[in-house]
Amino acid sequence: MDIVQIFRDVFDVFFSGAALISCIWVMSYMWWRWGAVTAKTSSFIRRFACCSSQLPDGTNEVGVAESSLARGDGRIKHSYIRPGPISEDPPRYSLKNLDLPLPVMSSEERSSLEALRDKVADIRVGRTDLSTLLRFLRARKGDVRAADQYLRESLRYREQLDLNRMETHWNLEAYEKCFSPWWARGGIIGWSLDGGIVGLERFGYSCFPDLLEALPWEVLQRLDAVHMVRTLAMFEEDSVRRQVPLGNAVLVLDLAGLTWNYLNPKVARAYGKLVEYRDFLMPNTLSHILLIRAPGMFSVGWSMVKHFLHPDTREKVQVASGDAQSLQLLRKYIADDTIPAYLGGSLRVRGDPECRMVLGGGTEVVPPEAVKQLLTVLGSSANSCPRHNHNTRTLERCSGSCFGWWPI
């Protein structure tokens, strides 16, 4: 089951008309509205709307940005698990078909895979190796026709963003280097007890609602696309090196730091859209999604609605609140030497318990200076904004509210 289907299952439950679920939704909406009123001003002072050079704690924003970059926050988020000395060279996604290891399949699934291979024989640009086809097939529960359609949608998405020329035509200085501490605020930290790759994202401290207001949608979309392409490239590099198939990864979402702004329906729709785009690039790679340090109300709501979900979703998505419960959940799937020390494990990257070289800028807010620098670098680039065929655009045209461009 793919992550987009999980989102759909959850939304189906919340909007199914059941009285209990309706009450939960109404209470959540009232909770958000009340929080939005009380936190409206403080949130912007705390993050982006304040344009002064001083952050609320008195720290100079330029100093915070420079410190994060000098420290190397997020610099090895995709390459940390390579053997040998720490490498900052990012993994590169192959545009050619790869002979990747395949998992055990039933005779029926193998026949479906062969049927899908025949169906996509006309595709000339895009990956159609068996490992890729199998992930799309499983994302559509063995439906060959639906898998074919989904693969072609994915290829159209790659073409729309010009992803196949990312290495040669994108401004990676902007999309990959100068904003690496702040998006995505996570990375690959090791392997699970079952041998699957483990990724951890500090979503609660990602400042996602504020980034939506500070950045054009295309910029945020491209930042995330680079992150996902690099992640998939490392998944495949690791698969070749260890000769293990894809599809058994564990995603940990650390929800500590969530604010009322995350309950804004626009924010929820925006993140849902990013999840959909992520699944275009990496379908059916996860075996478990662990939501840790979740707010108490979130855990209560989940404990009530999970009984209405498909058993596969209940097994795949698990939620824990508080440090102790979260650590207990993590240890079911991950060894202590892969759990960051800030969560109670023993993993430290160059002595740092927050593993910021992998996971990005910890709990720090995104400095306004970092946003300005990103837009400045993009403003001088001839391929900064994709929706206008990579023509040069001024910084003014690349700035403004993302919701005016929202692709819904």
Q: What is the tally of structural domains in the chain? A: 2
Share of the chain above pLDDT 90, in %: 64
Share of the chain above pLDDT 70, in %: 76
The answer to the question of residue 182 being in a domain is yes
Residue 122, domain CATH: 1.10.8
185 and 156 in a single domain? The answer is: no
Q: Model pTM? A: 0.81
Q: What mean pLDDT is predicted for residues 370-381?
A: 87
Answer yes or no: is pLDDT of 10 > 60. no
Supply the pLDDT for residue 65: 82
Q: What mean pLDDT is predicted for residues 345-349?
A: 98
65 and 111 in a single domain? The answer is: no
Supply the pLDDT for residue 337: 98
Residue 215, domain CATH: 3.40.525.10
Supply the pLDDT for residue 8: 53
For the segment 257-272, what is each residue's pLDDT rounded down to a tens digit?
988 888 788 998 999 9
The answer to the question of residue 373 being in a domain is no
346 and 232 in a single domain? The answer is: yes
Supply the pLDDT for residue 48: 43
301 and 340 in a single domain? The answer is: yes
Q: What mean pLDDT is predicted for residues 282-294?
A: 95
The answer to the question of residue 63 being in a domain is yes
For the segment 62-100, what is each residue's pLDDT rounded down to a tens digit?
567 888 888 999 999 999 999 999 999 999 999 999 999
CA 356 to chain CA mean position, Å: 17
Answer yes or no: is pLDDT of 371 > 90. yes
Q: 345: alpha, beta or left, given left = phi > 0 and alpha = psi -120 to 50?
A: beta
Q: What range does the domain containing 153 cover?
A: 107-165
Average the pLDDT over each of 22-26, 99-103, 214-218 and give the range with the smallest value: 22-26
Choose one of 368, 383, 399: the last residue of a domain: 368
The answer to the question of residue 230 being in a domain is yes
30 and 83 in a single domain? The answer is: yes
pLDDT class of 6 with cuts at 50, 70, 90: low
The answer to the question of residue 97 being in a domain is no
pLDDT class of 395 with cuts at 50, 70, 90: very low
